[in-house]
Structure 1
Amino acid sequence: MAKIFAGNLISSSEAVRGGRDFMFKDKQIQVSRREFLRDSAWAAAAAAFAAAFQERVEAQQKKSQPTNLAFQHNEPATHSTQRLQPVNIGFIGTGTQGQTLLQRLVRIPGVRVVGVCDIYPPHLSRGLQMAGAQAMSYRDYRRLLERKDIDAVIIATPLHLHAPMTIDALQAGKHVFCEKTMAYSIEDARRMVQVSRETGKHLQIGHQRHYSPIYAHAREMMVEQEVIGKLVHVRAWWHRNNSWRRPVRDKRYEELLNWRLYRKYSQGLMAELASHQIDVINWFTGTTPISVVGMGGIDYWQDGRDVWDNVEVIYEYPNGVKVVYTSILSNQYDGYAEQFMGDKGTLLLTNEKDGFLFKEPMAEELGWEEHAKKAAGKGGTTGLVLDVTATKKKGTGAVIGGRKMEAGYEMKDAYMLELESFVNDVVRNGQKPLCDAEVGYKAAVAVLTANKAIEEGRKITFTPDMFQV
């Protein structure tokens, strides 16, 4: 069961030497490294490959200074990093998502990525190149956490490793940014919240839409300006047309690189995609779901995976609001979006970058229609393109973290903004994250319970205590 990812918890060489056991929540059993090696034919080869590759990485570091993306970013000339207190970051997990974060992190003034950890040598090498010459390499994340000079840690590893790594980092005295979904199990997510409280260290979860100007503006329009009237229904979807599978030349690394396709490591489409959108619905409505029912199947990509390639879920929220969610991997026509439907209009957020308002025929004038760009909608309707500077009432403006959005915000994506907030607001100033452990926990409970409803073929009713820690 743990044949791949014990190696992501420890180095391959540590696995050979033996040591403490780790809990894997999908079967609620402990697997020792001796058992892990006995059951894993690839482990010895992985260790040898990792050692050889690491030697090449270290030799390259000594020979030349790796590229630091911080120097490639066109920061304003007046933006001096000398006036800022340096923030030392340890980075754990430099796969696809980790690299997405890391290339933005190094552009934040005053940030020094001083340690990079990954068990897969190509990912480790790329992470070191992105981090810069000051970064040390690690294949055992615990060695990185021992460093007293590290202020905070970013964790972008496979889902089932989020909890043990986050808990260890918090207990080591580090603030933590952990990618979504928060944890593989509700029990793990609950423990993460508890340890954050016990240690007094902040835990930010990577639901980046909380930091997006378009989402902040859309929420203001819906909640504060009430432009869609009474919310009656929500639709959300994330549709792709690909296998979600990475090509793997060496089959020993199949589960390591394609962990999302296997239930012992992954919670599938609901955790990897839907969690973002269910989090937005929780945020916009200010509530959590009452019940959930759903269906799923492996109906198209029958290639050995055991994670569903399509899901359809219906949540019931307070006040009779139904949320219909779908995710598929066999058609990309609709892309991904959230659609909030009220008795006065519909708010549509698409592809995480565009927003539109479509008024119902009987709705009153809003006062700024003439200044807004127009967009064609279904059935011959015309919508208004959401714009922070135009589609708002006089004197209002979208706020992120208690701060009105400044000029230039629209030029940055939400990944960049969430990392800037983590560094400047959370680590430097000790502020509570916008998407903190409690927010991430509620999204995790909603999507993990949906998976349970699909698996068991029944409707599950949430109790209020399920969302409380």
Structure 2
Amino acid sequence: MSKNSKHTRKDFIKTLGTSALAIAGVPAILTANSPKQISYLTRERYAANSNIQIALIGAGGMGSQDTYTALKHNGIKLVAVCDLYDGYLKKAKENWGSDLFTTKDYREILNRKDVDAVIIGTPDHWHKQISIDAMRAGKHVYCEKPMVHSLDEGHEVIQTQKETGMVFMVGSQGLSSLGNEKAKALLAEGAIGDINYAEGFWARRSPIGAWQYNIPSDASSQTIDWDSFIKNTNKIPFDATRFFRWRNYKDYGTGMSGDLFVHLFSSLHFITNSFGPNQIYASGGLRYWKDGREVPDVLLGVFDYPDSPQHPAFNLSLRCNFVDGTSGTTYLRIVGSEGSMDVEWDKITLKRNNEQFDDPFLAAKSKEQGLKTGRKQILPQEEIVYQAEEGYQGAHYDHFANWFNAIRGGSPVTEDAIFGYRAAAPALACNDSYFEDRAIKWDPVKMKKI
């Protein structure tokens, strides 16, 4: 084992044997001929001890989903909503009450004394400014991923969080999953040896999945504040397609990597304690969705992670395909010298090579006897599956629990501005590499392009 490994393989197997025996009596989980073993993932819950009044800025699809999830928690009340489209403001009142304060100017939200915290679900090009304005107005912030729209925006958000002391959380919701937490523990215990490679894949095909979002029939310059939408970017005439399908355009979105790769970076960095890669290269193209979009629908990224106090050097490959005929495949796989883990938000599948897998269930004497007589032995399982218990409310729920707990004075958030920027940076650099057709050098410690 290298200097980075905290436990030996035998330590892990010893622990595995103990935990496996502890759950052996669970009904309907283990069968005599099953090659897999399933353990349940659990987490301690925090109790609500104070009320928090929130506002939503950006009430489209993700912002609304964030709000629905936030309101599942005790002691949370929605008091205001901001959006640039009349239809979303009308829907907000229908969903959350006619007495809800609504506006098209987010500054009116920040001026309200009854707002403790805001959820920012706007297009990417507004994340930085609204986050900074909100923190300076004394509001805690939950900002959807990616935290920023370009590489040069991250440090200003970090500095504002430090200066204001507000609780700032980036919304890569899978980060707070039971799956990520178990994978982090397994890696630290030496379950797969030393990490040397990781890969991730995200596939979509349907129009909505490929960002062909619905354009309402009443979309017009009368129902949409277009001037505010483009205020901080290139000035062009009203275009409903750009407003509702903003992810397709570089002025407002961050492409496939900013939408999806950033989730995989967040999970990987959490599991490995990594600061990020030092070299990024991307390739891809526009293969199918030739609808005027400016970003590719197939993207491949290759990332070099340097040797560090947190982990050995390893390589990462990420792929995203919006033209996938099988549709819907998503995974993050972490490969080590002695095994691998497939990481999902509610499940971990640990795979190990039988030739390296010590048997924790047979006594040494029995092994020796079997070797002497040539008699066949019972082999250990090749896979161990860790599954979330029934009733688990999911990573999205837990991510908000993390934010609310921090606001109430508990432990700091997992995905603060520094963590969020270190996850966003390689995704944004991936775009730079694609459009500039060159490798991007990055300092993951200083968080600066080289």
TM range (shorter): 0.7 to 0.9
In 2, Cα distance between the equivalents of 1:122 and 1:367? 61
2:262 paired residue number: 275
1:148 paired residue number: 113
Aligned pair partner of 2:204 in 226, 240, 261: 240
- 1:187: Cα distance to partner? 2.0
Aligned pair partner of 1:438 in 418, 422, 429: 418
1:357 paired residue number: 350
After superposition, the Cα gap between the structure-2 partners of 1:151 and 1:334, relative to the gap in structure 1 and judged at 3 Å, is closer
Aligned ranges 1:68-147 → 2 under 5 Å: 84-147=49-112
2:399 paired residue number: 418
1:119–1:139 CA contact under 8 A, matched in 2: yes
1:385 paired residue number: 385
- 1:361: Cα distance to partner? 2.4
After superposition, the Cα gap between the structure-2 partners of 1:333 and 1:343, relative to the gap in structure 1 and judged at 3 Å, is farther
- 1:192: Cα distance to partner? 0.8
Partner of 2:132, secondary structure, is helix
2:294 paired residue number: 306
Partner of 2:73, secondary structure, is coil
2:161–2:168 CA contact under 8 A, matched in 1: yes
- 1:201: Cα distance to partner? 1.1
Does residue 1:343 correspond to 2:340, yes or no? no
Spell out, residue by residue over 1:205-224, the C-alpha distance to the aligned partner (whole angstroms, 9 max, x if none). Answer: 0122231112111211122x
Q: Which has the higher contact order (CA 8 A, sep 6+)?
A: 2
1:445–1:466 CA contact under 8 A, matched in 2: no
Spell out, residue by residue over 1:233-252, the C-alpha distance to the aligned partner (whole angstroms, 9 max, x if none). Answer: 11101011133211324584
1:102–1:127 CA contact under 8 A, matched in 2: no
- 1:295: Cα distance to partner? 0.5
- Code of the residue aligned with 1:414 in structure 2: it is A
In 2, Cα distance between the equivalents of 1:278 and 1:212? 14
- Residues matched between the structures, number: 356
After superposition, the Cα gap between the structure-2 partners of 1:464 and 1:84, relative to the gap in structure 1 and judged at 3 Å, is closer
1:197 paired residue number: 162
- 1:84: Cα distance to partner? 3.7
- 1:368: Cα distance to partner? 8.5
After superposition, the Cα gap between the structure-2 partners of 1:86 and 1:247, relative to the gap in structure 1 and judged at 3 Å, is closer
Work out the percentage of aligned pairs sharing the same amino acid.
Answer: 26
Partner of 1:241, secondary structure, is coil
Q: Which region of structure 1 is more displaced relative to structure 2, 248-257 or 201-210?
A: 248-257
More helix by percentage: 1
Partner of 2:191, secondary structure, is coil
- 1:280: Cα distance to partner? 1.5
Aligned ranges 1:188-337 → 2 under 5 Å: 188-223=153-188, 225-242=189-206, 243-248=210-215, 249=217, 250=219, 252-287=239-274, 288-318=276-306, 319-331=312-324, 332-333=326-327, 335-337=329-331
1:25 paired residue number: none
Partner of 1:411, secondary structure, is coil
1:449 paired residue number: 429
In 2, Cα distance between the equivalents of 1:221 and 1:213? 12
After superposition, the Cα gap between the structure-2 partners of 1:138 and 1:365, relative to the gap in structure 1 and judged at 3 Å, is farther
1:151–1:427 CA contact under 8 A, matched in 2: no
In 2, Cα distance between the equivalents of 1:216 and 1:430? 18
In 2, Cα distance between the equivalents of 1:281 and 1:171? 31
- 1:126: Cα distance to partner? 2.2
Return the TM-score normalized by structure 1. 0.71
In 2, Cα distance between the equivalents of 1:428 and 1:360? 46
Q: Which region of structure 1 is more displaced relative to structure 2, 425-434 or 234-243?
A: 425-434
Partner of 2:56, secondary structure, is strand
Spell out, residue by residue over 1:150-190, the C-alpha distance to the aligned partner (whole angstroms, 9 max, x if none). Answer: 11111111100101111110110111110100010122222
After superposition, the Cα gap between the structure-2 partners of 1:120 and 1:365, relative to the gap in structure 1 and judged at 3 Å, is farther
1:113–1:132 CA contact under 8 A, matched in 2: no
- 1:440: Cα distance to partner? 0.1
1:295–1:454 CA contact under 8 A, matched in 2: yes
- 1:228: Cα distance to partner? 0.7
After superposition, the Cα gap between the structure-2 partners of 1:231 and 1:368, relative to the gap in structure 1 and judged at 3 Å, is farther
After superposition, the Cα gap between the structure-2 partners of 1:445 and 1:364, relative to the gap in structure 1 and judged at 3 Å, is same
In 1, Cα distance between the equivalents of 2:280 and 2:243? 32
In 2, Cα distance between the equivalents of 1:368 and 1:239? 40
- Code of the residue aligned with 1:308 in structure 2: it is P
- Code of the residue aligned with 1:120 in structure 2: it is Y
Unaligned 5+ runs, structure 1: 1-78, 370-380, 389-406
- 1:464: Cα distance to partner? 4.4
1:6 paired residue number: none
Return the TM-score normalized by structure 2. 0.74
